[in-house]
Amino acid sequence: MEFTYLGRTGLKVSRFCLGTMNFGPETSEQDAYAIMDAALDHGINFFDTANVYGWQIGEGITENIIGRWLAQGGGRREKVVLATKVYGEMGKWPNQSRLSALHIREACEASLRRLKTDHIDLYQMHHVDRATPWEELFIAMETLIRQGKVVYIGSSNFAGWHIAQASEIAKQRGMLGLVSEQSKYNLLTRKVELEVLPACERYGIGVIPWSPLASGVLALGGRTGGAGDSRRNRDLTKPLREGHAAQLERYGALCQKLDEEPADVAMAWLLSRPAVTAPIIGPRTIDQLTSGLRALELELSDETKAELDAIFPGYKTAPEDYAW
C-alpha cells in the first residue's frame, strides 16, 4: 500500500480511503467486519463514514457497525485514521441537523458513542451551511479539538470560495483550519477542476474524491468497486449511461487497448490528479476490495492521459476556462 500526507498535515493515510456507506443497507455487519479486516490487511488505514449512513434518521447504523468492529480490539482503533461527518438530519427537531454550534457538539458526542472511541481523527462538515456564521462553526470545532475529541477538521461538497473563506477565517483565529475536502470527482464529473481543486492546492487541503467510478458507470458493466451492479443501480444510472454512450464506448475501446479494467483506469487517473489524496472506494464484498487494488500499481502514460482528456474533456482553472 502507498501512503501519502493528508493535505499539508503530517498525517499519513493510504492512497485509498475505505468508504463505508454500504455497511448496513447493502452489506451485512459480519461482511462489513470482514471487509474492514481485509482493508487493514492490505494496508488501508483511512476509513470514512458519516452519522447519517444507514439512512434511518437518528440511528447512525453504519457508525454503530464500525464501533462494534473497533471494540473487538486487536489494535484496530490504533491502526485506523477514522473520519466521520456532521450536517445531515439526525432527528426531527430544529437543531438536529446542519452546523450550528449546538448541533456540532451534540452530533460529535453521539458519533463518539456509536463509534466507541474517545476521539475522531477527521471530523468533516458534510455540506456547507449558509445559515451558520464561520465564527460560530469554528468556535464549536475549536472546543472539540481542545477537549481532545477531534484532531483534524475537513469539509465535503464545498465550493472553492467556501474553502477559501473558511481557510482565511481559520487562519485569523490561529487554527489549522480545513485539511481535507470531499468532492464528487471522476472522469465524467470534472467541474471541481475550475475552482475547488485550485483552492485546495493553494491552501494545502487534501482532496478525497467520492463517486470515483460515477456510481459504477465507469466500470462499464464489469467490476464496480462497490457501486453495485444491481438492477436498482442500473436503473438509477441509466440516464448517465445513455447520455454519455458515445464517450463510454470510446473509453471502453481505450481500456481494451491498454488491456486494463475500466474501473482501474478510472481510479489510476484520479490518483494522478493534483491535490488528490485518496479516492473513496466503497466495496460491498471483499472481492471488490481486493480486485480494485490493481489501480495503485497502474501508471498511466502522458499519451493515455491525453486520450482520456480527449474522451472526457476537463476544465482549465477559472477564470481562464471561461474568460479567455
Does residue 51 register a pLDDT over 90? yes
Instruction: Count the domains in the chain.
Output: 1
Q: What angle do CA 135, 138, 143 make, to 5 degrees?
A: 130
User: pTM for the full model?
Assistant: 0.95
Which of 51, 237, 245 is CA-nearest to residue 156?
Answer: 51
Strands 12-14, 3-5: pairing kind: antiparallel
Q: Annotated catalytic, 152?
A: no
| Domain enclosing residue 71, as ranges | 3-323
Mean pLDDT of the chain, nearest integer: 95
Tens of pLDDT, residues 302-315: 999 999 999 999 99
The active-site residue out of 5, 33, 53, 251 is 53
Q: Which cell is 60 given?
A: 447512525
Q: CA torsion 154→156→158→162, rounded to 10°?
A: -10
Q: What angle do CA 184, 126, 123 make, to 5 degrees?
A: 115
Tens of pLDDT, residues 226-261: 444 555 566 789 999 999 999 999 999 999 999 999
CATH of the domain at 295: 3.20.20.100
CA-based diameter of the chain, in Å?
58
